[in-house]
Amino acid sequence: MQSVRSGDGTSIAYERSGEGPPVVLVAGALCDRRAAAPIAELLSAHCTVYNYDRRGRGDSTDARTVFGTPADALRREIEDLEAMLGAAGGSAGVWGSSSGAALAAEAVAAGLPITRLAMWEPPYGLTEEDSRGHLDYARRLEETVAEGRHGDAAALFLGHIGVPEEFIAGMRRSPAWPALEKIAPTLRYDAAALGDGLLPAGRLAAITIPVLVLDGGASMDVLRSAARAVAGTIPDALHRTLEGQEHNVAAEAIVPALAEFFAR
């Protein structure tokens, strides 16, 4: 494990593997770098892979003592990704998963030296109802975390993405639940990366680097619709569907597409 210092003093932990074009992996909600480890292992046969813990997760710290506004939170995570690009030599391709894809897109829009962007099922909403639902979730999440109810925050997120209540109840009794409670406060960063919850058409339309948008053929319709909308908004973006894959995509299914895209 290695680490790099972000702008506000946060220590960002990462693992480097492989040789070839540099690629930084950005995980989604309730995930640290272990979630992307299978992808990093396979992709390292084609690229130099930088797999990092977003702030407050895994071995990374979080120098912020007060969460502040969502816009400020997003800026801090963009700075973290900028630090990772520095560790990768100054510029790199980026793969983002779910809300991590939204964060990566915001980093491109902010002018970071990202050479290529691959997005896995960015969970943007497409309607005003979607936006209202996201903003209500973000408000409830902030209140829950502020009250120290981290387990309830994790459960709130799982319910928000459609996990049935009986499944959540079972998860809360499992040995894995304490780890989800520990990482739950970082869900605020994922909510911040999504802004008002709607696809940011103006910022996406201004992206000029090569972009690959991926979704799973067995994934939820709302995620597949969002992926198609993103690909239709970013000029010249490529769109591919990985048949049989759900949101929790298998490394062996996605890495061939990533390797082809980033090795160009």
CA–CA separation, 122 and 241 (whole Å): 13
Output the pLDDT for position 67. 82
CA–CA separation, 113 and 62 (whole Å): 23
CA–CA separation, 117 and 119 (whole Å): 6
- Average pLDDT across the chain, whole number: 95
**pLDDT tens digits, 118-136:** 999 999 999 999 999 999 9
**pLDDT tens digits, 154-190:** 999 999 998 999 999 999 999 999 999 999 999 999 9
**pLDDT tens digits, 70-85:** 999 999 999 999 999 9
Task: Quickly state the pLDDT bin for 258 (edges 50, 70, 90).
Answer: very high
**Poorest-pLDDT segment among 68-77, 88-97, 114-123:** 68-77
Maximal C-alpha separation, the chain: 48
Output the pLDDT for position 29. 95
pLDDT surpasses 80 at 66: no
Q: 264 versus 120: which is more confidently predicted?
A: 120
- In this structure, are residues 262 and 46 in contact, taking their beta carbons and an 8 Å threshold? yes
Average pLDDT, integer, range 22-26 = 98
How distant is the alpha carbon of residue 160 from its chain centre? Answer: 17
CATH match for 2-127+198-262 among 3.40.50.1820, 3.30.365.10, 3.40.50.300, 3.30.420.40: 3.40.50.1820
> What are the start-end ranges of the H helices in 147-249?
150-160, 165-172, 177-183, 187-193, 201-205, 221-233
CA–CA separation, 233 and 199 (whole Å): 9
Q: 264 versus 21: which is more confidently predicted?
A: 21
Q: Where are the domains of the chain?
A: 2-127+198-262, 128-190
